[in-house]
Amino acid sequence: LVSKGSLVESLTTSTGTFEDLFTNTAYTLRIKYTYDLNDGNGEQEIVKEVVVTTLKLAAPTVSLIVNSVSNKVNYQVSEQDTLELGELVKVELYKAETLVSSLTSITGSFEDLLNNTTYKVVLTYKYNLNDGLEDVVVTKEQTVTTAALAVPTITLITSTIQNKIGYTVTLKDVNNTVVDTVVKVYNGTTLVKTLEDLTAEVENLTSNTNYKVVVECTYDLNDGSGVKVLKEEVELTTVKSAPSINVTVNPQSTKVSFTVKVSDINNVGQISNISLYKGEVLVETLSDLTLREFNNLSSNTNYKVVVEYTYDLDNGEGSKELTEEVSFTTSKVEAEVEQTLIPSKNGL
């Protein structure tokens, strides 16, 4: 058996088999037969040649199946190779032109990847058809994009009560992307307070003052773009403070003087009435609300001073009245004693 001018193997039997040959290869089967006719010409030789081509093997086929789940890429290599001519070399994952990871298993997963990012999976497979040629290298590739994470959402609800601000932050974060959440309270550009609670009350503020509540939510979508900040803000004005009054009296026998101390930091009201009562009977109402005295009273008598203060907090509830009552008793008047001198025999 000769291949390309070179002897491959020689047999001396009339029947036989040449084995372990290359496939899809042309061989020359050269048959030499010698004989002697005993005619003085010695041995003669007959040579016959037959060109035989071995059969071509079927090349294996390979396919690549890829899918992504969140930040993971799964793959499966499917091969049709009944003669076991081929083998998987590697499965590589690329981000752009950068190699991320390489595996050698038929099925596998690339994990801890970036979300919302396009990757390329490259399969390298080789086989040899035993035809005397080099290995055949097959590559298959597929692109796949990992799932995008949902951007978190925040809802801010606020309320005001005079010098307090209440707030509630509702945070929706289905993919656990939030890194940190803080609530900041500003008066103009001045930071008043920073809190981490999602529900709280901010106290000791100034009434009737503009404030701004800002929620800053820091999150990372794991897409390679880094940390981002989501903001929600509400501007509001604290409610005006309700006033208070305090009345003190200085009674005498026939008159009473009094003082009215008003605490009204937002100037929401004024004194609307000052009256004097004897029991439940109205004695007098001052027409001049700047006066602080009632005269011509009866001594040793119970009275009460009633001061009314009308105010409006501009909160939609309308005008209200604040009433302060102080009871007192006028002092007694000492009786005058007259002395009469009566003459007697011993003198006056």
Confidence of residue 142 (pLDDT cuts 50, 70, 90): very high
Query: Closest by alpha carbon to 248, among 229, 261, 237, 235?
Result: 261
Give the whole-angstrom CA distance, residue 268 versus residue 245: 13
pLDDT for res 36: 87
Q: What is the pLDDT of residue 347?
A: 58
Indicate whether 5 pLDDT > 70. yes
Q: Under a CB-based contact definition with an 8 Å cutoff, are residues 179 and 219 in contact?
A: yes
181 vs 149, 172, 198, 223, 284, CA distance in Å?
A: 18, 12, 8, 20, 63
The pLDDT score that the predictor gives to residue 161 is 78
SS3 category, 302 = strand
* SS3 label, residue 144: strand
Q: What whole-number distance in Å separates Cα of residue 81 and Cα of residue 62?
A: 8
| Residue whose structure tokens are 């992307």 | 177
Rounded alpha-carbon distances, angstroms, from residue 148 to 108, 142, 173, 175: 22, 19, 13, 10
Q: Which residue has the tokens 């004693």?
A: 337
pTM: 0.63
Percentage of the chain surpassing pLDDT 90? 74
Average of per-residue pLDDT across 119-124: 97
Average pLDDT over residues 205-221: 93
Burial tier of 196 (Cβ tally within 10 Å: 0-12, 13-18, 19+): exposed
In the chain, the percentage of residues whose pLDDT exceeds 70 is 96
SS3 58: coil
Distances (CA, A) of 188 to 111, 210, 237: 48, 7, 12
pLDDT, one tens digit per residue, over 154-197 is 999 999 877 899 999 999 999 999 999 999 999 999 999 999 99
CA distance 346 to 348: 7
